Structure 1
Amino acid sequence: MNKLISIVTPCYNESENVVELHERIAAAMAKLPYDYEHICIDNASTDDTVAKLKAIAATDKRLKIIVNARNFGHVRSPYYAILQAKGDAVIAIASDLQDPPEMIPEFIEKWEQGYKTVMAVKPQSQESPLMFLVRRTYYMLITRISDVPLVQNATGAGLFDRAVIDVMRDLDDPYPYVRGLVSEIGLPIATVPFKQPRRKRGITKNNFYTLYDVAMLGITNHSKVPLRLMTMGGFAVSILSLLVAFFYLAAKLLFWDSFQLGIAPILIGIFFFGAVQLFCIGMLGEYIGSIHTKLRKLPLVVEAERVNF
C-alpha cells in the first residue's frame, strides 16, 4: 500500500485562488508515487470560497473541507487542520499561491532522505523590499535570542513527518508558534529555498496586528531573554541613577550658590524612566497574555461542517 501524504491549505476569502490551488496540487501529486488527501480548512470566509470548494469536492473525493464556525485566526485554524491529517507526512502551504505547490516534490524528496521536518525558506521575495527587510531583521533577532536555533526566513510552509505530528498532538498547545515548535522538538530539519512570488489575486489577510501577534508569539514562546534583559537593565539603570544622584548632591554641597540644578534634567529623567517602565510593563503583559491563553485551554477551532471525511 502506498504511503499517504496529507496536504493542508488554510484559507479565508480566497475565492479567486482555490480552483487554481487545487489544480496545481493535483498536478504536483500526479508525478509522485503516493496517495494523497487535500484538506482545506476555511476560516469562515465571507465570499464564495466554500461554495467553490464544495463544487470541486463533489468530483474529487481527495479534497476534504473543514468549515469553521467563525474566524479562529491565523494561528489556531491551520494548526488544527494539521492535527486532523491522517497522512504519513503532512504538508502545509498557503492558499494564496505565494507558497508554490510545485515545491511539494522537493519537500517529499527531503523527507525520503530521512528528514522529519522540511521548511520552505525565502532568501528572496517579490514582496515589498521594506516588508522583506523587516521580516529578515525579525528572524535574525528571534534566532539570536531563542532558546533553540530557529530556521531563518521560514514562511511556515513545509512538511512534517507523522512522528512530528504525534509530538505536536501530545503537547496540546492551544496557541503554538509552529516554526519554533519544530525546532524545540529537535528532529532533523531540512530547508527548501525559493523566491516567493507576489500575490496575483485577492488581498493579503495579514495586517499590523496579525504580524505583531506572530512576532510576539515567537518571542514569548521560545525566549526568556527579554525578561532577563529587563532585570539586568533595571539594575544597571538604578546604579546609574544612584551615581548621578550622588554627583548632583556633591556638586550642590560644594557649589551651593553657583550650581543650579535646573528643570531640564529632571524632566528628561522622568520621561526616560517612564518610557522604560511602560516598555517593561508591556513586555511583561505579553508573557502574561501568553500564559493566560495557554491556561484557558479553549479548543483550537469549533467546526461548522465537514465534507468528504
Structure 2
Amino acid sequence: MSKKKISIISSAYNEETNIPLLYAQVKEQMQKLSAKYDYEQLVLDNASQDGTLRVLREIAAQDPHFKVIANARNFGHIRSPYYGILQCGGDAVIYMASDLQDPPAVLPQLIQKWEEGYKVVLGQKTQSKESPLFFMVRKFYYWLLNLVNDSGTDLPANCTGFGLYDKCVVDELRKLNEPYPYLRGLVCELGYARALVPFVQPVRERGFTKNNFYTLYDNAMIGFTNHTKVPLRLAALGGFVLGGISLLLALIYLVLKLLFWDKFPMGTAPILLSVLLFSSVQLFFIGIIGEYIGAILTQVLHRPLVIEKERINFKDK
C-alpha cells in the first residue's frame, strides 16, 4: 500500500537565517511519521534581496524532497503562499510561515486531525509571545469581523491560514480562480468538516518581520470586503440618521432664534463643528466604498497570482 503524501508549503522574503531551521524542523517532524507518510516541502522565494535563494538552492541540491519556486518579483504575503498551495500535489497540503512563528512541532497534530476525517485543520493561536497589545488588537479584529459577518460562514478567531487542507479542498480552490484570496475565510466558506488545533505562537528570533501597518490593514480589509456588506449598509444608515439629526438641529436653532432673536447668537463654532463632523463621516464612508470598489477592480483585472522565474527539484518542468 502506497504512503499518503503531505505537501508542506511556505513563502519567504529575506528569510536567509530562518530557512535552514525551517527545513531541519520540518524534516525532523516528518521523519517521525515516515512509516505512514511521504512528503515534499515547497518554499516560494519572493525575489529576496538577501541570500535566501542561495540557501534554498543548497538545500534543494541535497534533498529531493525539498522544492523551490523562485518568483519573478515579490508578489506579496497573500498571493504567493496561495499560489504555492495550488502547485502542491499531496493528499494534504500544509501551509506555514517561514519565520517559524507557525511551529513545525504542530505538524503531527494537524495530520492526526486530518486522519480523523477533517478536511480543513486550522492552527489557532490561543496564546502568543509577541507584544500583548498587538495580540489584543488581533483578537479585537476577529471579534469585530465575526460581529459584522453576514456571509453565513463561521470564521474562527486567531487563525492566520496556518493549517492543513485536504486535496479535495485544494481542488476546489483551483476551480475558484481567485486573484487575491482571503485564504482563512475562503476555506471556511467551502463548508468542509473543520477542526482547530491550538498552539502558542513563539516570538520571531531571527530576521525582521515583513508585516507593517499596510500589510495588516490590507489583510483586515480583505476579510471585511469578502465576508460582510455591513459597512456599506452602515454608510446608508449613517447618512439617513445624520441627515435626520441635522434637520432636527436646524429646526431647533430656527425656533430658538425666532423666540430669542436678540439673546441667541448663531455663532460660527457650531457651523464649523458640523462641517468637520459631516466631512469626516463622508470621507470615512467614501473610503469604505473605495475598498469594495478596489476589491471589484482586482477581480475584474484578474492578473496572475504569481509569475515564476525558476523551478528547482520539480520532475515535471
TM-score after normalising by structure 2: 0.96
Alignment of 1:258-277 (within 5 A): 258-277=263-282
Structure 1: distance between partners of 2:148 and 2:313: 44
* Shift, 1:219, TM fit: 0.6
Range 293-302 or range 182-191, more displaced: 182-191
**Counterpart in 1 of 2:79?**
76
Asked if 1:127 is matched to 2:130, the reply is yes
Structure 1: distance between partners of 2:175 and 2:161: 21
* Shift, 1:258, TM fit: 2.1
SS in structure 1 at match of 2:160 = strand
SS in structure 1 at match of 2:161 = strand
Asked if 1:109 is matched to 2:112, the reply is yes
Asked if 1:210 is matched to 2:215, the reply is yes
Asked if 1:235 is matched to 2:247, the reply is no
Asked if 1:96 is matched to 2:99, the reply is yes
Asked if 1:153 is matched to 2:142, the reply is no
SS in structure 2 at match of 1:123 = strand
Structure 2: distance between partners of 1:282 and 1:87: 41
Structure 1: distance between partners of 2:77 and 2:97: 11
Structure 2 portions without partners, runs of 5+: none
Asked if 1:65 is matched to 2:87, the reply is no
Percent of aligned pairs sharing the same letter: 56
SS in structure 2 at match of 1:271 = helix
Question: What do the CA deviations read for 1:194-233 (whole angstroms, capped 9, x no partner)?
Answer: 1100111111011111111101111111110111111111
SS in structure 2 at match of 1:7 = strand
SS in structure 2 at match of 1:154 = coil
**Counterpart in 1 of 2:230?**
225
Structure 1: distance between partners of 2:165 and 2:236: 38
Structure 1: distance between partners of 2:274 and 2:132: 38
- Number of equivalences: 309
**Counterpart in 2 of 1:138?**
141
Question: What do the CA deviations read for 1:160-209 (whole angstroms, capped 9, x no partner)?
Answer: 01111111111111000001111111111111111100111111011111
SS in structure 2 at match of 1:5 = strand
**Counterpart in 2 of 1:197?**
202
Q: 1:47 aligns with which of 27, 46, 50?
A: 50
Question: What do the CA deviations read for 1:240-288 (whole angstroms, capped 9, x no partner)?
Answer: 1111111111112222222211111111100000000000111111111
Question: What do the CA deviations read for 1:88-137 (whole angstroms, capped 9, x no partner)?
Answer: 11000011111111111000000011111011111110001111111111
**Counterpart in 2 of 1:2?**
3
Structure 2: distance between partners of 1:274 and 1:57: 57
RMSD of Structure 2 on Structure 1 (CA): 0.8
**Counterpart in 2 of 1:307?**
312
**Counterpart in 2 of 1:181?**
186
SS in structure 2 at match of 1:170 = helix
SS in structure 2 at match of 1:155 = coil
**Counterpart in 2 of 1:297?**
302
SS in structure 1 at match of 2:28 = helix
Range 253-262 or range 70-79, more displaced: 253-262
Structure 1 portions without partners, runs of 5+: none
Letter in structure 2 aligned against 1:131: F
SS in structure 2 at match of 1:119 = strand
Structure 1: distance between partners of 2:42 and 2:174: 18
Letter in structure 1 aligned against 2:186: L
Structure 2: distance between partners of 1:164 and 1:231: 37
